[in-house]
Amino acid sequence: MKTKPILIVAAVVIVIAGGAFFFIHSKNNKPGKNNIKLFLNAFNAQVKAGNIDSASNYFEADQKNKLIKILLSVLTNKTNTGGKAKPIFKVSLNTDDASIDLSNPDEAIAKVGTVFTQNALPSEKSVLIFTIHKIAAGGYKISQVNATRFVKDYATYQVKVINKTTPEADIYSPQTLAAFKVADKLKTKYDSVLWFDHVGGKTFYYVMKGKIADDFYWPKIDDLKGEKSDLKMGLVSPELKEIIPVEYDLIHNIGGTIAGLIEVEKGGKRGFYNVSGRLVLPADYEQIYPLKNTANLALLKKGEDYFYLKTDSTVSEKIVDLKIADVLPDIKTYGDSYEISEKSDKNIMEYNSRDKYTSLVITPSYLTDWNILDKFMNFQNPLRKLSEDSMGDGDGSRSLSVKFSSDKKDNGNNWFQSAFYTVVDDYIGGRGGLYTSKNVLLVDNKHNQIVGFSASNFFGLSEGGGSLDGACAENSLKAINDSLFEFKTTSEIDLEMLDSTKMLAGAPYYHYLQLQNGKLVALKSKRLFPTQFVKMDDSYLQNCYVIDNGIYTKSQTSASINYATKEILQLMKNEIYASYKYKFKNPRWNAIFDSRFDDYNDDKRNASVDDSLTVIDKYNIAFINNKLNSPTLNVKKVNALASR
C-alpha cells in the first residue's frame, strides 16, 4: 500500500489521517467547496491507484460493508457491479468538475461525473452522488452514495459492449436466435414483436400494433414524461397463426394464471383464451380469482355480482349471497408464503431484444389488484448464456420472496378483516436483497370486496430498503371511519436525533388510506410520525423503536425500546413545525429536517408558523408538550377499541 500523502495547497493544510481529512486554516475552520473538492480528488487518487482498503477509509459506515467494497471494486476496475466477474470496460471518476452543494451546514452533496470507456464503442457518461459528512475537528467522511443512475447506466453500457464484442452464438440459445428470425418476418405484418413465450419446446409470439413507451412497463410512476403508450396486443402460435386477435391491452404468460389458459385484459376487464385460440371467457370481468382445490377454476366478479368459471370452461349462474370473506381461503396463494424465480415455471418468456437479457413474468391480475406484486417481474434468463456474475448488477431479480405474516379480524363490529405480507426483492448483483415492501389486504365485508395496499418499508433519504429484522415487527390495520384506515408497519426511517451521535433507525410508520372506487389510496404526507391526520393518544407512543448509538463510528450499536422517549417526542413535535418550513433557533433542528422537506433552506424558512397549524397539529403539539413537561414520561395503556 502506498504511503498516505500530505498535500499542501494554498494556505490550507490537508492531513489525511485514517481516511478523514482535517482542514487547518490560519483564521477559521469553516471549509468551502475547494476543501470538499480536495477531499474528493484525494479519494479519487486512491481509486485510481487501486487501493480499495485506503479508499474505504473515506467512508463513515463500516469500512468492510459489502456495498462499499463492491462500489470501490467497480470504481477501481477490479470487478463489475456483481462484485465477482472482471469488468469488460473501464470506469473513471471526474472529481475535478464535481458539482458541490453546501446549503446544509453539516454536510455536502457532491455530484461526481463518471466515464465508461471501451475501445470498440464511444465513451458514455453517468454520475454518482456523494453525501459528505463533517466529523470532529473539521474532518470529512462519505456518509452516503446514491448510485441508482450509475448502476443503471453501467448495466446499459455493459450490454452494448457484450453485443459489440461477443458472437451471438455465445450469448443466445438456438431457440432464442430462431425466435429473433421469426420475429423479423412477423414485423412485415405487425408493428413489433414484444416477447417470446417458449412452451414445451415451441415458441409463441406476442405481437402488437401501435407504439410502446416507458409508461407501459412502469404504470405506477406518475411523473414519467414524454410519449405515452398506445398499443394493442395479440398472440401468434408456433405455426405463425394469429390465435388471439390484436385487440388487447395485455396478454399474460401462457398458463400463468390458470394452467392451460391465457389471461387477457382490455379496458380494465379480464378474460381467458386457451392455447388453441378459443375464447374461453370474454374480457367482461373486473376481477378473476383462480381457486385452489375446488370444483371450480376461478371466481369471477362483474359489477357487484360473482360467478364461477367451471372446470368445463362454462360460467355459472350468479352466485346468490356470496360473501367474499368466506371464499378468500380458497383463492390461490392466499395465506401462503412462496418464492418466485425463473425456476418457478418450465415455460420461459423473454424479450424480443438484444438489450434486455432477463426473462419476464406477467403477474396474474388479481395479485396486481391486491398490490402484492408488480405487473411485470424480471428474472434471470436461462436461455441467455450470460452468468449473473458477468452481468453484474443489471435489471431484474434473482427471486421474489412473498411471506404471509398473519390475518386478523376487526375486534369491533367485525365489518372488515386484514392480512399482511412482506415481499423481498432479491435484486440481481451487488445490491441483492435490498428492496422490501409491506403489503396489507383489506377484506371489506360492507362492500363485499378485497382491496390491497403496498408500501416500501424504507423512508430514509438515501437508497435503501433492506429486509428488516430484530425485535420490532409491528403490523396492524385500524379503521378511523368507514372510508379511512390506519396501516401501521415497522419501517426503517434513519432520522438523526438532536444528539448527533444517535439516529432513530426504526419506527412504526403510519399510512392513512382512503377507500376510493374500490382502491386504497394513501393520503400524501412527508412526515414520518402520525401527527397530520389524527389526534394522538398514548397508543401512538406504545410502539417499538430502534435507536442507533455512536453513528458514523465503528463502535455503532443498536437498541430497541417499546415506547416513545422524550427524545423521540421532540422529533415528533419539531417535525410538525419543520413541515411548515419553520426556522428553529437551534441550527441542529434545521439540519435534521432540511432534506425531508423541499427547499428547506435559510432564505425560505419562517420565523413563525402558528397561523398555518391545523386544529390537529395544535392538538398534537399540546399533547406532546404535556408529555415533555412531565417530570417523568407517563404513557398510559390505551384500550384498542376505545382508541378507535
pLDDT digits (tens, 9 = 90+) for 63-96: 556 778 889 999 999 998 877 789 999 999 999 9
List, in sequence order, the alpha helices (H) in 542-585. Answer: 566-578
Cβ-contact 574, 562 below 8 angstroms: no
User: Tens digit of pLDDT for each residue in 164-178?
Assistant: 998 999 999 999 999
Q: Where in the chain is the domain with CATH 3.10.450.100?
A: 6-158
Tell whether the model's pLDDT for residue 445 goes beyond 80.
yes
User: Tens digit of pLDDT for each residue in 363-416?
Assistant: 999 999 999 999 999 998 999 887 555 555 556 788 889 999 877 776 555 678
Quote the pLDDT of residue 68: 83
Quote the pLDDT of residue 234: 98
Per-residue cell: 439? 403489503
Tell whether the model's pLDDT for residue 359 goes beyond 80.
yes
Q: In terms of pLDDT, which residue wins out, 534 or 603?
A: 534
The residue type found at 354 is R
Q: Name the band, by pLDDT with cuts 50, 70 and 90, for residue 34.
A: confident
Question: Who's near 99: CB < 8 A, 6+ residues apart?
Answer: 110, 111
Q: Name the band, by pLDDT with cuts 50, 70 and 90, for residue 469.
A: low
Question: Who's near 82: CB < 8 A, 6+ residues apart?
Answer: 388, 389, 390, 391, 392, 393, 428, 429, 430
Span 426-449, mean pLDDT?
78
Q: Name the band, by pLDDT with cuts 50, 70 and 90, for residue 252.
A: very high
Quote the pLDDT of residue 412: 56
Quote the pLDDT of residue 635: 66
Tell whether the model's pLDDT for residue 133 goes beyond 90.
no
Q: How far apart are CA 298 and CA 311, in angstroms?
A: 9
Tell whether the model's pLDDT for residue 139 goes beyond 90.
no
Quote the pLDDT of residue 385: 80
Tell me the average pLDDT of the chain.
85
Q: How far apart are CA 232 and CA 217, in angstroms?
A: 14
Measured at the CA of 643, the angle between CA 640 and CA 644, to 5 degrees, comes to 95
User: Tens digit of pLDDT for each residue in 509-540?
Assistant: 999 999 998 899 999 999 999 999 999 999 99
CA neighbor of 88 nearest in space, from 350, 394, 378 = 394
Tell whether the model's pLDDT for residue 238 goes beyond 90.
yes
* Beta strands across the sheet bearing 139-146: 90-101, 107-118, 121-135, 139-146
Quote the pLDDT of residue 136: 63
pTM of the full structure: 0.80
Q: How far apart are CA 248 and CA 214, in angstroms?
A: 18
Span 275-287, mean pLDDT?
98
Question: Who's near 541: CB < 8 A, 6+ residues apart?
Answer: 563, 564, 569, 627, 635
The residue type found at 579 is S
Per-residue cell: 378? 424480471
Quote the pLDDT of residue 604: 72
Tell whether the model's pLDDT for residue 288 goes beyond 80.
yes
Question: Who's near 316: CB < 8 A, 6+ residues apart?
Answer: 296, 307, 308, 309, 310
Quote the pLDDT of residue 508: 95
First CA to last CA distance, the chain: 63
Q: Which CATH class is domain 6-158?
A: alpha beta
